[in-house]
Amino acid sequence: MNTERAKITVRGAVQGVGFRPFVYRLALEFALRGWVLNSSQGVFIEVEGPGEAVRQFLAALEKSRPPRAIIQSLEYSFLDPAGYEGFEIRTSEEGGKKCALIMPDVATCADCIRELLDPGDRRYRYPFINCTNCGPRFSILEALPYDRPNTTMKRFAMCPECEREYEDPLDRRFHAEPIACPRCGPRIELWDAAGTALGHPLHKSAHVLREGKILALKGLGGFQLLVDARNQEAVARLRERKRRERKPLGVLYPTLEAVRAVCEVSEQEERLLVSPERPIVLLRRRPGGDVAPAVAPENPNLGVMLPCTPLHHLLMVELGFPLVATSGNLSDEPICTEEHEALERLAGIADFFLVHDRPIARHVDDSVTRVMSGREMVLRRARGYAPLPLRGKETSPCVLAVGAHLKNSVALSVGRDVFISQHIGDLETSQAYAAFRKVAADFQRLYEAKPEVIACDLHPDYLSTKYAAQLSAPLHPVQHHWAHVLSCMAENELEPPVLGVSWDGTGYGADGTIWGGEFLVAREDGFERAAHFRQFRLAGGGAAIRQPRRAALGLLFEMWGEKAFRRRDLAPVRSFSDTELALLEQMLEKKVNSPVTSSAGRLFDAVASLLDLDHEVSFEGEAAMKLEFAVREGTEGSYPFKMGEVIDWQPMVEEMLGESPGVAAAKFHNTLAEIVAAAARFCGEEKVVLTGGCFQNRYLTERCILRLRDSGFRPYWHQRVPPNDGGIALGQVLSAARYDRVSQQSPLCAWQSPENSLR
């Protein structure tokens, strides 16, 4: 008999997904001997037996892998037989470069749900049931490799029954690191606002929610605030206490059938809702429904999710009606992760606290998604998705990218992988900035990585940029919209030349002005700003972001000068008093605190105000959302514009005035799509990427895709990486890596100025 031995290294998302028991069963199936173990680099395997059986094993290893496993590389070599006598699962190895992928937290699987609701099962109604196919991963991991002693579960000693399951390679819970049961695992308690335990936590939690009270629930990656979604008064009270005036709130439904009763659900949207990631999915609402108007005011969409943890499942079984489920924080703060911290930070918001004693290693918010042009798009990348990486074609220097100021996330490149952190949020508060610093340090610690380059935004006043400047490694500043373009290119595996359409609210330009309506041609050595929207001034700077009417006034002033202030027939002008108008006129004429911008986001704001849809906003993008929602479906046609290196919107705005808001909103969006197609012709690039926060707008994005395809171009857009600033860090990493490769210099060279990263 021809005996052979194969030495195999498997890299990818192969820890915490049942990969070792899968290998064990596969080896037994082919009567092979040897061993398998986890390491910081992945999974190592040696198998020995008849040559044909070894080759069949290798073929089945990738083809029949566990459903949650992701194999990035499978390398093997043949060696002389070692004389193994059986097949075993060996203790994990530590040491060496840490490059194994960390699995995201995974929603409760169907097998565990059946056991959870089975009165005859020993884990009946146990809120922490899990197996190798589901449960916490990233939120409990403290170090690699992913083994129980390296998780927050190390404080819970397994009972004999759990230990037997944990050690049995043929059991579904073999090396399920969070394994627990009512005898040996974490427990829940219901606390009042003073932190006093009340007993019967699930039953009483359901009772207080029925009464319209606000419940803070400690979930997988932090606290959520829950309230009866049908109760208008209760939802309004939550908004007031949380200081979240009008921004839509997510809704947790007990079943898919309950979601279908209130929302349109496509096949792809259903897949997202029931997927192991269990994100919030933006769905089109049906008329009527049982959700209070305060949940998503004047919004035709609803952010919906299904239960993702055993605790959520049990609560939904108790209640049977939808709950608002929003982040456990004040607006602009990170979510709470520890119960005593929650008592302090959520005091005055939550009436009761449903807590547990399993520590959370890091905060992880709910992810937000929608279906765009037949594909899934992640708008907020967190639970279920982070920290899975994008894999590049080449090994790059170790780069830490610190992202932008809003919707911040960080990224770290290790070899060919770029690991993108969970959503951190806007760096507007000391708590948010502290969370940002913690995540940046956490990524470096997990992978024992020492960055050779720190990539940051070009804006010198961003807190993330200031943080980057304090670090010891050389700094690589990256222009904001170029980072957006590189992010979308990386996700779609594109190489230059590419036309990047990068539209958002704001970004520091290479010329010191505010960019945001950019057409950047990606070259091998950088980018060329091929075109941009005509600039206009923002009276009051940051105040114009909060008041779209100021953006509208700046737009009108750019068109007509001082005559704009006499047009009382126009809604934004009419919204100001004579005194206010006189002050704003002076600001614009004297160019005092009135920066110029090419921003598409501010153009959306200005048009929303001109159409009398919104003059003051309570959250970023509110005016643009109202403009999208105002679109009268089926409206065709567009407005004129002037194409060139500076794209003039004045003909569009002048023709728009006087038309009904529904028609004008539709034709405005249609015109933007025509501008994108015209810019593609103007630049002459076949591949066009659509990136930046404006492309969260479904009508705009789908219209642009349609017009580009009709014109013979190939459009690309985001899928797993957010189009908004949550994707900036990825682009920053790519900029640093590309600069190193193109310049043929060491990444350790000194950066003399921001312009070094631009072309």
The predicted-structure confidence for 222-258, as pLDDT tens digits, reads as follows: 999 999 999 999 999 999 999 999 999 999 999 999 9
Q: Domain extents for the chain? A: 3-89, 102-186, 188-368, 387-532+637-650+667-759
Q: Please answer whether residues 436 and 427 qualify as being in contact, where contact means their C-beta atoms are separated by less than 8 angstroms.
A: yes
Select from 297, 301, 271 the least CA-distant residue to 285.
301
Cis peptide before 640 (omega within 30 of 0): no
Pick one of 3.40.50.300, 3.30.9.10, 3.90.950.10, 3.90.870.40 as the CATH number of 188-368: 3.90.870.40
Per-residue pLDDT at 191: 98
Please say if the pLDDT value at position 745 is more than 70: no
Among 250, 289, 256, 484, residue whose Cα is nearest residue 369: 250
pLDDT of residue 415: 86
pLDDT band of 560, cuts 50, 70, 90: very high
Average pLDDT over residues 719-727: 96
Per-residue pLDDT, 16: 74
- The torsion angles phi and psi of 550, rounded to 5 degrees, stand at -70, -40
DSSP state letters, 132-160? TTBB-STTTB-SSS--GGGBGGGGSPPPH
- How many CB atoms are closer than 10 A to CB 78? 11
> The pTM is what?
0.89
Sorting pLDDT into bands at 50, 70 and 90, what band is 55?
confident
Per DSSP, helices labelled H in 79-126 are 110-116
Residue 94: is its pLDDT beyond 80?
Answer: no
Cβ-proximal residues to 320 (8 Å cutoff; 6+ apart), any chain: 254
pLDDT for 113-159, tens place per residue?
Answer: 999 999 999 999 999 999 988 999 999 999 988 889 999 999 999 99
pLDDT at site 40 = 67
CATH hierarchy code of domain 387-532+637-650+667-759: 3.30.420.360
Q: How far is it, in rounded angstroms, from Cα 26 to Cα 35? A: 12
Percent of the chain at pLDDT > 70 equals 96
The answer to whether the peptide bond before residue 661 is cis (omega within 30 degrees of 0) is no
Region of 78 (left: φ > 0; alpha: ψ -120 to 50; beta: rest) is beta
Digit-coded pLDDT (tens) for 387-444: 988 877 788 899 999 999 999 999 999 988 899 999 999 998 999 999 999 999 999 9
Average confidence (pLDDT) over 66-73: 76
> Residue 651: how many CB atoms within 10 A of its CB?
13
Predicted pLDDT of residue 747: 34
For residues 70 and 393, give the distance between their C-alpha atoms in angstroms, rounded to a whole number.
17
Q: What is the DSSP letter of 145?
A: S
**What's the pLDDT score for residue 676?**
98
Q: What are phi and psi of 658, to 5 degrees?
A: 100, -15
At residue 663, the pLDDT reads 97
Question: Is the model's pLDDT at 465 over the cut of 70?
Answer: yes
Let me know if the fold of 188-368 is the same as that of 387-532+637-650+667-759.
no
Q: Does domain 102-186 have CATH number 3.90.870.30?
A: yes
Average pLDDT over residues 176-191: 97
**Structural domain 3-89, CATH architecture:** 2-Layer Sandwich (3.30)
Q: pLDDT higher for 714 or 748?
A: 714
Distance CA 276, CA 384 (A): 7
Say yes or no to pLDDT of 741 above 60: no
pLDDT reported for residue 740: 62
Average pLDDT over residues 23-44: 88
pLDDT for 753: 32
Residue 756 pLDDT greater than 50, yes or no: no
Residue 742 has what pLDDT?
A: 52
For residue 144, what pLDDT is reported? 83
Handedness of CA 54, 56, 58, 64 (dihedral sign): negative
Look-up of token digits 């048009």 = 607
Q: How many residues does the chain have?
A: 759
Tokens 């105040």 label which residue?
A: 543
Residue 751 has pLDDT above 50, yes or no: no
